[in-house]
Amino acid sequence: MSEVILEKHEHTAVITLNRPECLNALCVSFMNEISDALDQVEKDPEIYTLIITGTGRAFIAGADINEMYGKDKDAIFAWSGVGSTLNLRIETMAIPVIAAVNGYALGGGLELAMACDIRIASSDAMMGLPETSLGVISAAGGTQRLPAIVGEGIAREMIYTGRKITAREALRIHLVNKVTPPEELMQEAMNMASEINSRGQLAVRAAKKTITFARSSGIEEGCMYEREIFSELFGTEDQKNAMGDFLNKEKKTEFRNK
């Protein structure tokens, strides 16, 4: 069976990472296969949301240490680019991406989950960036995204100590959006995706663009960009129909993504 399983459920794609024998550890060939699955998702205009999850006891337990160990600094710099590029791609996809975090999400696994828009964790999940215990640091965005999500003080503590945290603690510090029993994880993720799918997709994608833009802009520049995107949406059928339905007290709008 493939190490990356891609399924489609109406308007939601599900990528299941399927290397349970090594807890879905990230190696170059595995990351390339994930990227290939993203190619297929992006080619399908009927996919509005993407869920990424894992099989077995882990979402992703980290990078493949065997593949990394013998590399010199030049080789490892090139190696790290594969994961960094993959996470940047997930972060900047047009559609929302939900990480359904089952079990371990450590090192590169947490880095990939943080590149997703929304994280839902099973109650038995464990998360962390333990790289300092191996004499290194994150190389696929961990030191950049974790402070943006949980705040600099908590991020520094987690990164410096390499401490692993439970799903409940991850929820408390806002690293994840929700925690569910393991048997309810995928249904909760599908419910979240379905709710997003029911909205105007031009607006959802515009919202993602403006939120992502804020990461690299000042507040004035970001607000101006937000206004520009907001104004563009007033040239769409969806905006006219949805606002017209609201004014006419219609209960539901059928979005056409035009």
Residues labelled catalytic: 111, 131
Residue 166 pairs in a beta bridge with 126
Phi-psi region of 10 (alpha: psi -120 to 50; beta: other; left: phi over 0): left
CB atoms within 10 A of CB 120: 28
Is 131 strand, coil or helix?
helix
Nearest alpha carbon to residue 162 among 116, 126, 121 = 126
**Residue (of 46, 165, 41) closest to 113 by Cα position:** 165
Could you tell me if 163 and 68 are in contact, meaning their C-beta atoms sit under 8 angstroms apart?
Answer: no
Q: What are phi and psi of 199, to 5 degrees?
A: -90, 175
Q: Name, in order, each residue with C-beta under 8 angstroms of 238's C-beta and a sequence gap of 6 or more.
A: 200, 202, 203, 253, 255, 256, 257, 258
Whole-angstrom distance, CA of residue 36 vs CA of residue 128: 27
**Residue 124 bridge partners (DSSP):** none
Q: Check: CB of residue 14 under 8 Å from CB of residue 49.
A: no
